[in-house]
Amino acid sequence: MTSTQQPALNADIYQLSETAVTVRFGTEISPVLNKQARALAKRIEERPFRGFIECTAAFASVTLFYDLSAVHQTYSDREASPYLFVREYIKSLLTGLNIEEEQERRIEVPVCYGGRFGPDLAFVAEHNGLAEQDVIDLHTAGEYPVYMIGFAPGFAYMGGLSKRIHTPRRTSPRTEIPAGSVGIGGGQTGIYPLSTPGGWQVIGCTPVRLFTPEQEEPTLLAPGDILKFVPISVKEYEQYQGGVQ
């Protein structure tokens, strides 16, 4: 793994609350901005200050949470407020931040499309003026970078969906979507790791478990991974014994 050191990155730093500060590198969804956000989060965790609680990296931002009283007591000799102290701390980390060239982990996830596994496949096809097989071909042709985990344990927010199959969310969300369901919501695609309510257009389902709380690493996917969907038949789905290629 190599890294690139550069001058202080351009970022907006603002107070989210009395105990949280957000650092935003941009507003678009891109691998470059996501790498910057994850690099900053890693550096914060490596060099925490007294009163630091946790930080969370998103698409193009990092939010840092801290104990207000601990920061105030520790740095009370300084004229700056706790927020201004944290702001200066972040600025110092942004200077010469290393953006590591990661060894991407590529994961193939089998999906059975359409039928009882993908009740919205026909709608996605009709909305985009395509045949159902065209939707499947486009969906499986892409490579999807994982930007962050959120919404539900193990749910990966990804980029890379072909514009030809962008489809708006359902006007009436379902009260329950089965675990493993693969959906499209606007310009994104994702996999429901648990049975939850949801409004994405469900086009298929994977037999792979994305969230296994009993394991040391409970989530299959992590930021920085590259996901590839692989089509399988109903028979293959039913015979699937677990594991990822």
- Residue 172 sits in the same domain as residue 54: no
**What is the C-alpha to C-alpha distance for residues 2 and 25, in angstroms, rounded to an integer?**
22
- Residue 77 sits in the same domain as residue 122: no
Model confidence, pTM? 0.81
Do the bridges between strand 201-205 and strand 106-113 make them parallel or antiparallel, or are there none, so unpaired?
A: antiparallel
The owner of tokens 């939707």 is: 135
Res 78: pLDDT: 60
**What is the C-alpha to C-alpha distance for residues 203 and 126, in angstroms, rounded to an integer?**
13
DSSP string, 48-107: PPTTEEEEEE-SSEEEEEE-HHHHHHHTTTSSS-HHHHHHHHHHHHHTT-EEEE--PPEE
Of 108, 120, 110, 63, whose CA–CA distance to 86 is shortest? Answer: 63
pLDDT, averaged in runs of 10, over the chain (245 residues): 57 95 93 92 94 94 95 72 91 86 86 98 99 99 93 91 98 96 97 96 96 89 94 93 51
**What is the C-alpha to C-alpha distance for residues 198 and 107, in angstroms, rounded to an integer?**
24
- Has residue 245 been placed in a domain? no
Residue 232 has which token pair?
């399988």
Residue 132 makes CB contacts below 8 A (sequence gap 6+) with 113, 114, 121, 122, 125
For the chain, the domain total comes to: 2
Domain that holds residue 49: 2-101
- Residue 188 sits in the same domain as residue 112: yes
CATH code for the domain of 122: 2.40.100.10
Res 98: pLDDT: 78
- Residue 164 sits in the same domain as residue 121: yes
Domain boundary residue, one of 56, 82, 101: 101
- Residue 133 sits in the same domain as residue 214: yes
CATH code for the domain of 14: 3.30.1360.40
- Centre a 10 Å sphere on the Cβ of residue 34 and count the other Cβ atoms it contains: 25
Res 10: pLDDT: 84
Residue 114 has which token pair?
């359409």
The owner of tokens 């299959």 is: 220
Res 241: pLDDT: 57
